Amino acid sequence: MSEKVVRRIMAEEGLKVCYEPRMRRWSSYGGETPGAPENLVKRDFHSGLPNFLWLTDITEFSLNGFKGYLSPVIDCFDGKVVSWNISQRPDAALVNGMLDDAISTLATGEHPVVHSDRGAHYRWPGWLERCEAAGLIRSMSAKGCCPDNSACEGFFGRLKNEFFYHRQWDGVTFDQFKEALDCFIRWYNESRIKQSLGWMSPVEFRRSLGLVA
């Protein structure tokens, strides 16, 4: 269930949770360049169809001795993580590989809007070429405006609260961390229930609508 529901139940029961201090966030912003697409989403993250509106961003995990980076594509139809890539480097290969995987799930005639922040990853030639070849429609947040991509930021917040924070990561290798994160995202798609989906997971919700076998 969602974090909001858990918070309400905890408040009713008089329970409290301790939070770790927030660390300085990693940023991919490399300065303003001309030619950025307009913000087509305008903070409306609702979609009545799958593969109509996608969100993407990169988040950083600081572990003992290394950092990990996650780049997902989130479908606004039901919050399903369409594709994701995990790496030790926030480079072009991270986002391009993720986009290739997402594009491979599209049916003929599907050309979603892909909304991102103004990170350099979404300005590089490889990203632009992939979007153009697949007929994807680019949309970008305003400069330094997290609320413009708040639904993706919200996913990162839930992910870190449920998977990453308050867990012991000492001695964990990057490969072990990657496997654990991959398993969590698969569980998130297939088993984690959401109130907005009638207490079903994204995969169960799509199955109930006859969208997947």
Q: What is the pTM of this model?
A: 0.83
As given in the structure block, the two tokens for residue 169 are: 């990561």
As given in the structure block, the two tokens for residue 206 are: 């799509």
Domain 35-208: top CATH class: alpha beta
| Amino acid (1-letter code) at residue 5 | V
How many Cα atoms are found within 13 Å in the side-chain-facing hemisphere of 22?
4
Cα separation values, 80 from 58, 59, 102, Å: 16, 17, 12
Cα separation values, 148 from 40, 69, 88, 139, 187, Å: 10, 21, 26, 11, 27
CA distance 17 to 193: 22
Give the pLDDT mean for 89-118. 96
Q: Please report which confidence band the pLDDT of residue 1 belongs to, taking 50, 70 and 90 as the band edges.
A: low
How many Cα atoms are found within 13 Å in the side-chain-facing hemisphere of 13?
9
Q: What is the pLDDT of residue 2?
A: 65
CA distance 173 to 64: 9
Q: Alpha helices, DSSP H only, in 72-115?
A: 92-103
Q: What is the pLDDT of residue 166?
A: 87
Q: Please report which confidence band the pLDDT of residue 8 belongs to, taking 50, 70 and 90 as the band edges.
A: confident
- Range of weakest confidence among 15-19, 50-54, 129-133: 15-19
Give the pLDDT mean for 57-81. 96
**Mind listing the pLDDT tens digit for each residue in 178-207?**
999 999 999 999 999 999 999 999 999 999
CA distance 75 to 53: 6
Give the pLDDT mean for 111-115. 98
Q: Please give the backbone phi and psi of residue 60, each rounded to the nearest 5 degrees, phi first.
A: -110, 140
Spatial contact of 142 and 148, defined as CB atoms under 8 Å apart:
yes
As given in the structure block, the two tokens for residue 98 are: 């993720």
- Whether the predicted pLDDT of 170 surpasses 80: yes
Q: Please report which confidence band the pLDDT of residue 144 belongs to, taking 50, 70 and 90 as the band edges.
A: confident
Q: What is the pLDDT of residue 25?
A: 52
Spatial contact of 151 and 130, defined as CB atoms under 8 Å apart:
no
| Mean pLDDT value across the chain | 90
Q: What is the pLDDT of residue 26?
A: 45
Domain boundaries along the sequence of the chain: 35-208
Q: What is the pLDDT of residue 19?
A: 52
**Mind listing the pLDDT tens digit for each residue in 13-45?**
777 766 554 444 545 444 445 568 999 999 999
CA distance 98 to 84: 5
- Whether the predicted pLDDT of 7 surpasses 90: no
As given in the structure block, the two tokens for residue 118 are: 């103004």
